[in-house]
Amino acid sequence: MIRGTSSCSHVDKIVDRGYQRAIFETGASVEYDQAFRWPADGPNGTLTCIEWAIEDGFADRIVLGLDAARRRYWAAYGGRPGWTYLLGPFSALLAERGVPEAIRRAFFVENPARAYAFAAARGA
């Protein structure tokens, strides 16, 4: 875990600041993975959740992913958005919304490195 004892995924399906805060306040980390699913002509709920989390001081507990297991989402099979979506178009959207480079780096490098790091077992 990045921090705390648990982590949650898919939580950006519910764009409600109170809900988001309640998850973070448990000490959990979150994985936002719905970024490409929002209509192109409307608000992106994942971006909204990220902005709230940054404002509330939880940027160090966010990792990003793609809930994109179907072939139609993979560029290799002629689908979209493809695996490069997060580091390409979505990172650009974060920058356009004013998310600093240091925080974007945390989302893509530092937070996942902590989340997936191995640690010695207690008492070992």
Spell out the SS3 assignment of 32-60: ECCHHHCCCCCCCHHHHHHHHHHHCCCHH
For residue 43, what is the domain's CATH number? 3.20.20.140
In contact, 62 and 12? CB cutoff 8 Å: no
Quick one: pLDDT at residue 2?
Answer: 42
Work out the angle between the directed axes of helices 45-55 and 17-25 (0-180°, nearest 10): 50
Span 3-35, pLDDT tens digits: 444 667 778 889 999 999 999 999 888 999 988
Residue-level pLDDT at 79:
65
Residue 122 lies in a domain: no
Residue 121 covered by a domain: no
> Which residue ranges in the chain fall short of pLDDT 70?
1-7, 72-73, 75-77, 79-80, 82, 119-124
Domain that holds residue 50: 7-115
| Number of independent structural domains in the chain | 1
Q: What is the pLDDT of residue 48?
A: 96
For residue 1, what pLDDT is reported? 41
C-alpha to C-alpha distance for 44 and 121, rounded to whole angstroms: 40
Lookup result for tokens 């990220």: 50
